[in-house]
């Protein structure tokens, strides 16, 4: 795409260099071809020397507003101290699908952003060669400058920005990428670009949004999920101080389908006021007659009992079967059976759901801390009957997500409320709303059975997964099974079956979905097998993994057993696996492959006579390929471990008659600062493509702690949270 200077300035709106790649479509793994490059404000080099790099993906605490621009800056050889990071506009044409989920931001954007930085560097070098009248091969770059060693001359990127913009786009063959050994930025500890704003309380988050003439709303829904308001004392509410309006919103008829970015809007009563405090005070006086005809009648205790009954039966549906499992069990020296279970859980981000919307002149503009802004545009257009170009979504930093902000119910509620008033309106959920109306992590029920021969070697494996289902035919996706290649490809006789338990409670992905409950069962059960076989847990696990190879060649999302074994061996070395421990104190090992990253963890735990558990230290070793931001990657591992221990300790959502019984953190406690252990994190040096770290370190921690508890006490924990079995942290 060749532009003269006038055309360039018209497109960019300032004097400088602005280039970028069209975004990768969702799911695309192929690299962008240089011939597809277009002006789209991905990176801007201004004439004052400032470099602006736009972060395309939403930020919810995982650090991508720092790590993604770092990839660009590395290939560009930019002076990071002169870089300003901004969140990109939501624009599918320019950036593809913009979302934060599945630890995919780095994995998917890596080829695209490297090429974007390398392209800018190439154009700057070409401009410098033209100006200095030397071959481009004699030039190098460093810290936003082009260097000519032979003459000692240097030119800043700012000096070259305008002439670089006139350079023709290079052929693909001309693109040169750095080798990992030449990185000067990637792999370092780099402070998050929002750190100063966060610690000084600058307005960053959705709840900080302020617009001229803005109103505030609260939205009251039936405590029994799916109930609908028949009537409410609206006239009385409207007469209260500061209240602008109060009205009923007729939502959709059905409780939302499982794990979908859905169109569901819960029926409820909106109160709009001049301040958030006035809206909440008015809410205290609201009286609603609820129609429970369509409401959920779920009872979580009954769901668990049904699952336990089904665990002892043959699965209703066979999903995978290889070899002859029954014959292998009959011929084995030992058969070990266990049933592992976990409860419903809520995401509990520190910032409750919120969204600000302004409906004006047949268009909607929203400020949403969402993980799926591209989907928000499409969803609001459908909900309001608007063309897509009449919906504008602004990326706002979210105060935690963990999968909760993949669903945009709060944005839909905000839009419908805004349509009824003539001003911008912020809908702010309370903490109680956030806990009561989540898309919960579904409970996990895993019945496991395995056979050992007379040498203590695994010969057969059977997994019966019992999942909740809202339609009676399909498991809610985050409650389903992991039909993965391990241990299936490492045991001759294997069977995976499933059964369903009805549930009307909305569920959705939570940090490391499925893995976050299944890893607890699988890795605890493998330890059970090692104990039954009278073998060292580490060696038993390594034997199960087998020879080093991709279990599915060519797929980075399938485990490479050599990488897995390397993490296990290294974490054992770091923790001093096998050392003598005092009575009541032990090490517990766990490994899991989640979101394309193998992670091994060891927890050092002691248990006193009152079953009080102290987790002294956790060692984490991961192989995520080249680390982008060492500080961010370490933080994600540490946060995953703390999050996992918090869930393991006491976090459980119970439901009775369709109503969530917990209301706030006094009943759903987060781990306190004096409870969290020292956490040692190491990343193995690797030439594999980089993968994400937002989720993979969470699944192993529960089994690591529980395996240590068993080794210290002889008590096997098979239900999470451990408070249900009399243990505390």
Strands 493-502 and 317-322: antiparallel
Question: Residues with Cβ < 8 Å from 604, sequence gap 6 or more?
Answer: 575, 585, 586, 587, 615, 616, 617, 618, 677, 708
Q: How confident is the model at residue 366, as a pLDDT? A: 98
Run of H or E including 159: helix 157-165
Q: Is 472 exposed, middle or buried (0-12, 13-18, 19+ CB in 10 A)?
A: exposed
Q: Is 73 exposed, middle or buried (0-12, 13-18, 19+ CB in 10 A)?
A: buried
Alpha-carbon distance 290 to 229, whole Å?
5
449: confidence class by pLDDT, cuts 50, 70, 90? very high
Would the pLDDT of 309 be above 60?
yes
- pLDDT tens digits, residue range 338-356? 999 999 999 999 999 999 9
Question: In CATH terms, is domain 5-199 a member of 3.40.50.150?
Answer: no
Query: 3-class SS at 170?
Result: coil
Alpha-carbon distance 590 to 107, whole Å?
25
- Residue 83 has which token pair? 């870089």
Q: How confident is the model at residue 24, as a pLDDT? A: 32
Rounded to the nearest integer, the mean pLDDT of the chain is: 92
Would the pLDDT of 564 be above 90?
yes
113: confidence class by pLDDT, cuts 50, 70, 90? very high
Contact criterion met (CB below 8 Å) for 385 and 466:
no
Q: How confident is the model at residue 477, as a pLDDT? A: 81
Alpha-carbon distance 580 to 592, whole Å?
26
Alpha-carbon distance 287 to 231, whole Å?
9
Q: What is the DSSP letter of 488?
A: G
- pLDDT tens digits, residue range 410-424? 999 999 999 999 899
- pLDDT tens digits, residue range 585-644? 999 999 999 999 999 999 999 999 999 999 999 999 999 999 999 999 999 999 999 999
- pLDDT tens digits, residue range 678-717? 999 999 998 889 999 999 999 999 999 999 999 999 999 9
Overall pTM > 0.85: yes
Q: How confident is the model at residue 155, as a pLDDT? A: 97
Q: How confident is the model at residue 4, as a pLDDT? A: 44
CA 140 to each of CA 52, 79, 144, 261, 415: distance values in angstroms, whole numbers, following the listed order: 22, 14, 11, 48, 52
Would the pLDDT of 107 be above 90?
yes
Strands 719-720 and 334-342: parallel
Q: What are the beta bridge partners of residue 5?
A: none
216: confidence class by pLDDT, cuts 50, 70, 90? very high
Angle between helices 699-713 and 515-532 (to 10 degrees): 30
| Percent composition of the chain: helix, strand, coil (DSSP 3-state, to 5) | 35, 25, 40
Domain covering 206-295+350-436, topology: Aldehyde Oxidoreductase; domain 4 (3.30.365)
Q: What is the DSSP letter of 635?
A: H
Would the pLDDT of 37 be above 90?
no
Mean pLDDT confidence for 240-255: 91
Fold match, 5-199 / 206-295+350-436: yes
Q: How confident is the model at residue 16, as a pLDDT? A: 64
Alpha-carbon distance 270 to 249, whole Å?
7
Q: How confident is the model at residue 18, as a pLDDT? A: 73
- pLDDT tens digits, residue range 72-97? 999 999 999 999 999 999 999 889 99
Would the pLDDT of 25 be above 60?
no
Q: How confident is the model at residue 700, as a pLDDT? A: 98
Mean pLDDT confidence for 65-76: 97
Would the pLDDT of 212 be above 70?
yes
Q: How confident is the model at residue 99, as a pLDDT? A: 95
Domain residue ranges in the chain = 5-199, 206-295+350-436, 300-345+440-725
Q: How confident is the model at residue 260, as a pLDDT? A: 53
Would the pLDDT of 7 be above 60?
no
Q: Which CATH number fits domain 300-345+440-725: 3.30.365.10, 3.40.190.10, 3.90.380.10, 3.20.20.70?
A: 3.30.365.10
Q: What is the DSSP letter of 449?
A: E
């Amino acid at each position: 795409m060749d532009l003269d200077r006038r055309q360039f300035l018209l497109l960019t709106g300032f004097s400088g260099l602005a280039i970028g790649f069209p975004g990768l479509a969702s799911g695309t793994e192929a690299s962008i071809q240089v011939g597809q490059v277009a002006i789209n404000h991905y990176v801007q080099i201004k004439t004052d020397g400032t470099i602006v790099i736009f972060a395309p993906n939403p930020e919810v605490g995982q650090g991508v507003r720092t790590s993604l621009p770092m990839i660009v800056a590395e290939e560009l050889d930019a002076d990071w101290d002169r870089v300003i990071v901004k969140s990109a506009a939501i624009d599918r044409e320019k950036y593809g699908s913009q979302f934060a989920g599945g630890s995919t931001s780095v994995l998917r954007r890596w080829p695209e952003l490297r090429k974007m930085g390398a392209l800018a560097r190439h154009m700057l070098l070409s401009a410098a060669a033209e100006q200095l009248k030397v071959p481009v091969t004699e030039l190098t770059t460093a810290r936003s400058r082009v260097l000519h060693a032979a003459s000692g001359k240097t030119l800043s990127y700012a000096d070259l920005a305008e002439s670089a913009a006139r350079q023709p786009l290079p052929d693909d063959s001309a693109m040169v990428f750095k080798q990992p050994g030449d990185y000067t930025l990637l792999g370092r500890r780099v402070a998050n670009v929002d750190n100063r704003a966060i610690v000084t309380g600058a307005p960053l988050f959705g709840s900080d949004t302020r617009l001229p003439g803005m109103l505030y709303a609260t939205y009251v829904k039936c405590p029994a999920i799916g109930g609908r308001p028949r009537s409410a004392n609206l006239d009385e509410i409207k007469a209260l101080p500061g209240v602008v309006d109060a009205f009923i919103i007729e939502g959709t008829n059905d409780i939302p389908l499982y794990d979908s970015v859905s169109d569901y809007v819960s029926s409820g009563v909106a109160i709009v006021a001049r301040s958030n405090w006035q809206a909440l005070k008015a809410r205290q006086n609201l009286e609603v007659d609820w129609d429970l005809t369509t409401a959920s009648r779920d009872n979580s205790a009954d769901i668990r009992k049904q699952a336990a009954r089904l665990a002892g039966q043959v699965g209703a549906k066979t999903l995978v079967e290889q070899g002859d499992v029954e014959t292998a069990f009959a011929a084995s020296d030992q058969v070990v059976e266990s049933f592992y279970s976990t409860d419903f859980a809520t995401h509990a981000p520190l910032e409750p759901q919120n969204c600000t919307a302004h409906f004006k002149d047949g268009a909607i503009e929203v400020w949403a801390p969402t993980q799926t802004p591209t989907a928000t545009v499409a969803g609001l257009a459908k909900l309001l009957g608007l063309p897509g170009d009449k919906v504008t979504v602004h990326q706002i930093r979210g105060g935690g997500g963990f999968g909760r902000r993949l669903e945009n119910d709060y944005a839909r509620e905000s839009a419908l409320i805004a349509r009824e008033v003539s001003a911008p309106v912020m809908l702010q959920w309370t903490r109680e709303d956030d806990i009561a109306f989540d898309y919960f992590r579904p409970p996990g029920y895993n019945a496991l059975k395995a056979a050992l021969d007379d040498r203590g070697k695994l010969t057969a494996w059977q997994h019966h997964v019992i999942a909740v289902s809202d339609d009676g035919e399909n498991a809610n996706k985050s409650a389903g099974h992991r039909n993965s290649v391990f241990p299936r490809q490492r045991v001759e006789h294997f069977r995976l079956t499933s059964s369903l338990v009805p549930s009307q409670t909305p569920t959705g992905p939570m940090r490391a979905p499925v893995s976050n409950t299944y890893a607890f069962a699988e890795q605890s059960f493998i330890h059970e097998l090692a104990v039954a076989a009278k073998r060292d847990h580490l060696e038993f696990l390594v034997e199960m993994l087998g020879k080093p190879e991709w279990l599915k060649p060519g797929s980075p999302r399938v485990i490479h057993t050599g990488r897995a074994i390397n993490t296990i061996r290294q974490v054992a070395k770091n923790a001093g696996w096998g050392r003598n421990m005092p009575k009541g104190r032990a090490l517990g090992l766990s490994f899991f492959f989640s979101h394309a990253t193998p992670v091994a963890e060891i927890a050092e735990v002691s248990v006193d006579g009152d079953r009080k558990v102290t987790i002294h230290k956790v060692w984490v070793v991961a192989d995520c390929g080249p680390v982008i931001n060492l500080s961010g990657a370490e933080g994600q591992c540490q946060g995953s471990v703390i999050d996992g221990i918090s869930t393991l300790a006491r976090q459980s959502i119970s439901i009775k008659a369709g109503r969530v019984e917990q209301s706030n953190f006094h009943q759903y406690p987060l781990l306190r600062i004096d409870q969290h252990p020292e956490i040692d994190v190491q990343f193995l040096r690797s030439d594999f493509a980089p993968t994400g770290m937002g989720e993979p370190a969470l699944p192993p921690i529960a089994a690591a702690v529980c395996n240590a508890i068993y080794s210290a006490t002889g008590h096997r924990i098979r239900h999470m949270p451990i408070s249900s079995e009399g243990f505390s942290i």
